[in-house]
A and B are shown apart, each in its own frame.
Chain A
Amino acid sequence: MHTSPPATVEGVAHENPALLHHFATEEQQKNAANLGMWVFLATEIMFFGGMFFAYLVYRYWYFGDFGAGSQSMNVTLGGTNTAVLICSSLTVALAVRAAQLGKQKMIVVCLILTMLLGLVFLGIKGVEYHDKFVEHHVPGPSFYFPGHVPGHVNIPINQQHAQIFFSLYFIMTGLHALHMIIGVGLFAFITLHAMRGRYHPNYYTPVETAGLYWHFVDIIWIYLFPLLYLIDRSQ
């Protein structure tokens, strides 16, 4: 075998308990985790992308009914939720920054704030779902969505097409909410570790990668908000 002296000295490399056996250096481990999360987010783009594609097709076909459906959404609640998520993105970014600077308490505070904001988002989402349920806007046998297409008083809403809009609304926001729940769970786990002081400027990979995931979930909402709440609002 063409071996020259090993590139890393094992004894030195394994001083950090967070360094797993198969990595040579902390740098390599961190880079692997970081790339892994980015690649995972790429798969998430395609996962949500499939839904955006379905949305695009039906919005193109049934624009009027989609506009009517969209106008039944509560923009105040949706807009508030957008703001809540943006705030939570800030707190995550600050948590990572605190970890970079080694401010142990600050990490915990920022992560708890993030989870609270996440729960506020889910709560508001729950209120919206409840309203839709009360109004019979949930797809199914009791679905009822009377009215006319925005801007065309003499064209009634096609119930089936409107039902497709609400189906997509519930699936897209539902899967987004599921991602939020997973994110809150991740942060709960990481907060426990942060309380025990596991993260320091040389090792904060979990905070960073979970943060990337959270920002991604935020970005999905940034698109969902105008696409679901703001179709044809000028009518």
Chain B
Amino acid sequence: MSEHVSSLKLYIGIWITLLIGTVLTVVVAKIPLGPFNAVVALSIATIKATLVVLFFMHVKYTHEKLTRVVIISALCWLAILLALSMADYATRLW
């Protein structure tokens, strides 16, 4: 088939990066950054998730734009849920 076959080297590289990311998350959590601890932790998690999606789930190599549309719309809908309801929680007077 015309499917893209990734090299073993790439898979191992991504795997090591993900493991390093995990260690990094734990290490950074111990450094006092105030609210930025959460920002950093979620940023690392997002980078890790993106790597999994792009390389392990082959989204980088797919010719199908639709896959990306599906992922992005699901994330947009999650953003709608969080943003509009937090608009309520953040502005309550009680």
Contacts and interface: CB of A to CB of B under 8 A. Distances in A.
B45 A226 contact: yes
A33 interface: no
A75 interface: yes
Contacts of B33: 234
Nearest to A86: B18
Q: Is the interface of B mostly helix, strand, loop or mixed?
A: helix
Nearest to B56: A93
Contacts of B85: 53, 57
Interface residues of A, number: 50
A220 to B, nearest CB: 9
A20 interface: no
B87 interface: no
B6 A46 contact: no
Given A42-B71, A45-B78, A82 B22 contact: yes
Contacts of A94: 8, 11
A226 B29 contact: yes
Given A31-B64, A83-B22, A100-B3, A39 B49 contact: no
Contacts of A231: 38
A83 B19 contact: yes
A138 B12 CA distance: 39
A123 interface: no
Nearest to A61: B89
Nearest to B17: A86
Q: How large is the interface on B (under 10, 10 to 19, 20 to 34, 35 or more residues)?
A: 35 or more
Contact of B45 (A43, A45, A223, A233): A223
A225 B1 CA distance: 38
B42 A35 contact: no
Contact of B52 (A100, A222, A226, A235): A222
A50 B48 contact: no
Interface in B6-40: 6, 8, 11-12, 14-15, 18-19, 22-23, 25-26, 29-33, 37-38
Interface of B: 1, 3, 5-6, 8, 11-12, 14-15, 18-19, 22-23, 25-26, 29-33, 37-38, 41-42, 44-45, 48-49, 52-53, 55-57, 64, 66-67, 70-71, 73-75, 77-78, 81-82, 85-86, 89
- 9 nearest CB pairs, A to B: A42-B74, A234-B32, A226-B41, A230-B29, A233-B29, A45-B74, A90-B15, A49-B78, A93-B56
Given A56-B82, A89-B52, A234-B30, 9 more contacts: A42-B70, A42-B74, A46-B81, A86-B22, A89-B15, A93-B56, A97-B8, A215-B56, A215-B57
Interface of A: 31, 34-35, 38-39, 41-43, 45-46, 49-50, 52-53, 56-57, 60, 75, 79, 82-83, 86-87, 89-90, 92-94, 97, 100-101, 201-202, 211-212, 215-216, 218-219, 222-223, 225-227, 230-235
